[in-house]
Structure 1
Amino acid sequence: MTTVLQPSPLSRSTTQTTAKGADSAMPAYAIEQKGDVTFLQPSSGKFFVALDNRCGRWQMFDGNASEAQKAEIATSLKESPTPVPPESDEFLEVVIFITDRCNLGCVYCKYADLTQVSDVRGTDVGNICRTLGELIDGKRRIAITFQGGEPLLMHREIDQICAFLTGSFPEIEFSFALQSNGTLLHDAILETLKQYDITVGITIDGPASRHDLARPFKNGEGSFTTITSNLERLQKSNVRCGVLSVIRDPDELMALFRFNREKLGLNSFYLKPLEFADSGAESSEEFSAYYGKLADHQLELMRELIRIHTTPGKRVHEQMLKTLLGKMFTPSFYNDGCIRTPSCGSNERYKSINCDGSVQWCAHLKNQQDKAVKQASKDRYGFCANCPVSSICLSFCPAVIPGYRHGQPEACYLPLAKRFCAYRRQMMMGLFELMHENMQAVTACFMQG
Structure 2
Amino acid sequence: MRAAPLPPPGPRLIPVDIGHPVYAALTDPATAFWALVDKTRVDAELAGGALLDGYRARFDEFARELHALRFGLKPSGVYLNPTERCNLDCRYCYLPGEQRSGGRHMPAQTLLDSLQALKDYFASTLGGSGRKPRAIFHGAEPLMNKDAVFTAIDAFADDFAFGVQTNGTLLDDAAIAFLTARNVSIGLSLDGPAAAITDATRRTWGGQSVHGKVLAAMEKLRGYGSWSVITTCTGENLPWLSEMVELFHAHEVPTCMLNTVRCTLPGARGVKPADADMGRAFFAALDRSHALYRESGRKLVVANFANIVLAILAPSARRLMCDISPCGGGRAFFALAADGSLYPCSEFIGLPRFNGGKLVDGGVDAALASPAFRPVIERDVDRFSPCAECAIRHFCGSPCPAEAHEMNGGMGRTGAFCEFYKEQVSYALRLIADGKADDFLWDGWDEGTETTFQLQ
Tell me the residue number matched to 2:437: 442
Match 2:39 to one of 40, 44, 63: 63
Give the drift of 1:279.
7.2
Alpha-carbon separation, structure 1, partners of 2:186 and 2:119: 24
Aligned residue runs from structure 1 range 163-312, under 5 A:
163-166=154-157, 169=159, 174-186=160-172, 188-206=174-192, 207-235=194-222, 238=224, 240-249=226-235, 250-262=238-250, 264=251, 266-277=253-264, 280=267, 290-312=274-296
CA separation of 1:423 and 1:223: change in aligned 2, threshold 3 A: closer
Alpha-carbon separation, structure 1, partners of 2:347 and 2:85: 18
- With the length of structure 1 as denominator, give the TM-score of the two structures: 0.75
For the residue of structure 1 that corresponds to 2:85, the secondary structure is coil
Give the partner amino acid of 1:41: V
For the residue of structure 2 that corresponds to 1:432, the secondary structure is helix
Alignment partner of 1:128 is 2:114: yes
Aligned residue runs from structure 1 range 36-435, under 5 A:
36-42=11-17, 46-70=22-46, 71-72=48-49, 73-80=51-58, 82-83=61-62, 84=65, 92-109=76-93, 110=95, 114=99, 116-117=101-102, 120=104, 122-123=106-107, 124-138=110-124, 139=126, 140-166=131-157, 169=159, 174-186=160-172, 188-206=174-192, 207-235=194-222, 238=224, 240-249=226-235, 250-262=238-250, 264=251, 266-277=253-264, 280=267, 290-334=274-318, 342=325, 344-346=327-329, 348-365=331-348, 366-368=354-356, 370-373=369-372, 376-377=375-376, 382-383=383-384, 384-385=387-388, 387-393=390-396, 395-401=398-404, 404-405=405-406, 409=410, 414=413, 417=414, 420-435=417-432
Alpha-carbon separation, structure 2, partners of 1:116 and 1:183: 16
Give the conservation status (yes or no) of the 8 Å contact 2:138–2:165. yes
CA separation of 1:407 and 1:353: change in aligned 2, threshold 3 A: farther
Give the drift of 1:182.
1.0
Report sequence identity in percent: 17
Give the partner amino acid of 2:328: G
Give the drift of 1:144.
1.4
Give the drift of 1:188.
4.5
CA separation of 1:116 and 1:376: change in aligned 2, threshold 3 A: closer
Give the drift of 1:154.
1.8
Alpha-carbon separation, structure 1, partners of 2:397 and 2:79: 22
Deviations 1:279-320 (A, max 9, x none): 75869xx97x62221123222233333334444543222222
Unmatched 5+ residue regions in structure 2?
Answer: 1-7, 349-353, 357-366, 446-456
For the residue of structure 2 that corresponds to 1:405, the secondary structure is helix
For the residue of structure 2 that corresponds to 1:64, the secondary structure is helix
Alpha-carbon separation, structure 2, partners of 1:209 and 1:53: 43
CA separation of 1:313 and 1:166: change in aligned 2, threshold 3 A: closer
CA separation of 1:336 and 1:232: change in aligned 2, threshold 3 A: closer
Give the conservation status (yes or no) of the 8 Å contact 1:343–1:396. no
Give the partner amino acid of 2:39: G
For the residue of structure 2 that corresponds to 1:259, the secondary structure is helix
Q: What count of residue pairs does the alignment treat as equivalent?
A: 397
CA separation of 1:113 and 1:346: change in aligned 2, threshold 3 A: closer
For the residue of structure 1 that corresponds to 2:299, the secondary structure is coil
Could you tell which deviates more after superposition, 92-101 or 289-298?
289-298
Alpha-carbon separation, structure 2, partners of 1:99 and 1:178: 13
Give the conservation status (yes or no) of the 8 Å contact 1:394–1:424. no
Alpha-carbon separation, structure 1, partners of 2:34 and 2:335: 33
Unmatched 5+ residue regions in structure 1?
Answer: 1-32
- With the length of structure 2 as denominator, give the TM-score of the two structures: 0.74
Alpha-carbon separation, structure 2, partners of 1:419 and 1:230: 32
CA separation of 1:252 and 1:316: change in aligned 2, threshold 3 A: same
